[in-house]
Amino acid sequence: MVGQLLSPPEFAPVVPENATPQQRIDIWLDLLRSAQTLLLAGLRREVGPGGDVHDAYRRWYAQQMEEHDRTIVRMLERMKRRSHAA
């Protein structure tokens, strides 16, 4: 599909069935490191050559955690309403 950011699931890389637990962990860590590299590259682009990437990361992370906390609170409030309605 034109403009689609993610490939369909059938094109996703597959972890070999015979991979050892250590190999699976290594694959997961590689994925995490790749994601961090992309995030830092995006932040580096935002702050420019003289900007503080680590400070930008701290701000980004704080914003993500605030959003996460709001989401959790909304979920708990919905669960509470549903349990009282039953």
Q: What is the DSSP string of the chain?
A: -TT-SS--GGGS----TT--HHHHHHHHHHHHHHHHHHHHHHHHHHH-TTS-HHHHHHHHHHHHHHHHHHHHHHHHHHHHHHHHH-
Q: What confidence score (pLDDT) does residue 3 get?
A: 67
User: What pLDDT, on the 0 to 100 scale, is given for residue 6?
Assistant: 78
Q: What is the pLDDT of residue 62?
A: 98
- Give the pLDDT confidence score for residue 10 in this predicted structure: 86
Q: What is the pLDDT of residue 2?
A: 59
**Which positions of the chain have pLDDT values less than 50?**
none
